[in-house]
Amino acid sequence: MIKIDLLPGSPDNPRNSEGSMIELRNRKIMFAYTHFYGGKSDASSAYIGARYSEDRGRTWSGKDRVVVENEGKQNVMSVSLLRIESGEILLGYLVKNSRQDCRYFIKKSTDECESFSEKILVTELDSGIGNYFVVNNDRIVQLKNGRIIVPACLHPSTETEWRPGRAMIFYSDDHGNTWKHSKTILDSPDGSDKHGLQEPGVIELKDGRLLMWTRTNLGSQFYSYSEDGGETWSNVQPSSLISPLSPASIKRIPETGDLLVVYNDRSGRFPLSDNPYSNRTPLVAAISKDEGTTWEKHFLIEDDPEGRFCYTSILFLEDKIILSYSAAKAKDAWGLLRVCIIGINEIYG
């Protein structure tokens, strides 16, 4: 396992976070991320920058290329990169204007991210009040039938109220040109839960169903399933991924066909901190051979009891897994964006 402290914070750039990687046709890796220059909070000013690696992630370019200027009244953040079956690359990101207006857009590239189209709105929904959407980094997926899925958390909002998260998906059947939303919008099964279902992700299972997972404040990641390509979803249920109110990332390992999860394992399998601000540690990878029902081969990535590790991106290259994630002391809240290279055989032991 190799760790690279790629993007540490600084006084004029106090937070780097929420990235996504893609391999370009020339074998370079492009790593897009959120570069904050106006503070550390989710509402601080930021643009989406990119760094490049020519040696499979071991070294990186030293300067940002600004991929998306700050188009929001607050910022742009939470980027995803995905090559779709047409060969185009999608770049998705949030444009944040206020607590009542945060929406997700995509741009398309036909020239390996040298240039991008005008942005296309994904999260269009008339709720009668303000809509604050959250879409995590590295979350867009394409199904075997070509449908593109953007999992989203909706926080209906007013100037004085930010309501619990509701999980849903947006989907496109024309390469991302137009978008529809799921008929089902999922709510927390606990009516007193002030957080709701947050930061969902989606993966296609071998039997054609879709699995959605969401972070909760109820002790674990919660699961929901769709049998119709994401249009309707089952009621959420707790999973065996014991975790705090922190996101998980799941992708399928091309080499083996198993699922890989990276999350904050709070089961007690590894030592836990008594610091209430350090609940996003340890950072652990695990394998599922039964499509997410059970998890094994738990592999410790980060174990600093005072650390805070979250918002992972996952890229598979040959026999390696390249991760990016926020890595900071809990007391510092944000700052460093770390890259970690792990051999697939290391995970399997």
Give CA–CA dist 187/9, Å, rounded: 36
pLDDT in tens, 204-247: 999 999 999 999 999 999 999 999 999 999 999 999 999 999 99
Taking phi over 0 as left and psi of -120 to 50 as alpha, with beta for the rest, 56 belongs to left
In a domain, 334, yes or no: no
pLDDT of 130 higher than 80: no
Query: How far, CA to CA in Å, does 30 sit from each of 20, 47, 224?
Result: 8, 16, 32
Give CA–CA dist 17/320, Å, rounded: 22
pLDDT of 276 higher than 70: no
Give CA–CA dist 46/180, Å, rounded: 28
Give CA–CA dist 322/340, Å, rounded: 6
- CA 44 from chain centre, in angstroms, equals 19
pLDDT at 330: 78
Evaluate whether 68 touches 91 at the Cβ level (below 8 Å): yes
Give CA–CA dist 60/49, Å, rounded: 13
CA-nearest of 109, 118, 115, 66 to 90 is 109
In a domain, 291, yes or no: no
Out of 30-34, 59-63, 96-100, 330-334, least confident range = 330-334
pLDDT of 79 higher than 80: yes
**pLDDT-based confidence at residue 127 (cuts at 50, 70, 90):** low
**pLDDT-based confidence at residue 175 (cuts at 50, 70, 90):** very high
> Which residues neighbour 37 within 8 Å (Cβ) at sequence distance 6 or greater?
12, 13, 44, 45, 46, 47
Show the tokens assigned to 3. Answer: 């760790």
pLDDT at 28: 98
Exposure b/e, 225-253, CB count within 10 A at least 16 = b: bbeebbbebeebeebebbbbebbbbbbbb
Q: How many Cα neighbours within 13 Å face the side chain of 279?
A: 12
Out of 63-77, 177-191, 277-291, least confident range = 277-291
Stretch 21-37: mean pLDDT: 98
Show the tokens assigned to 216. Answer: 């909760």
pLDDT at 333: 74
pLDDT at 126: 73
In a domain, 215, yes or no: no
pLDDT of 128 higher than 70: no
Q: Give the H or E element holding residue 344.
A: helix 344-348
pLDDT of 158 higher than 90: no
pLDDT at 156: 86
pLDDT in tens, 5-16: 999 999 999 999
Percentage of the chain lying above the pLDDT 90 cut:
88
pLDDT at 242: 97
Stretch 170-180: mean pLDDT: 97
Give CA–CA dist 87/89, Å, rounded: 7
Stretch 257-265: mean pLDDT: 98
Show the tokens assigned to 200. Answer: 């969902």
pLDDT at 151: 98
pLDDT at 212: 98
**pLDDT-based confidence at residue 121 (cuts at 50, 70, 90):** very high
CA-nearest of 123, 21, 17 to 81 is 21
In a domain, 34, yes or no: yes
Out of 22-31, 86-95, 121-130, least confident range = 121-130
The range of the structural domain enclosing residue 76 comes to 1-93+101-112
Averaged pLDDT of the chain: 95
DSSP state of 165: B
In a domain, 30, yes or no: yes
In a domain, 156, yes or no: no
pLDDT of 296 higher than 80: yes
In a domain, 14, yes or no: yes
Stretch 47-74: mean pLDDT: 98
In a domain, 43, yes or no: yes
Longest dimension (CA), the chain: 52
User: How many structural domains comprise the chain?
Assistant: 1
pLDDT at 228: 98
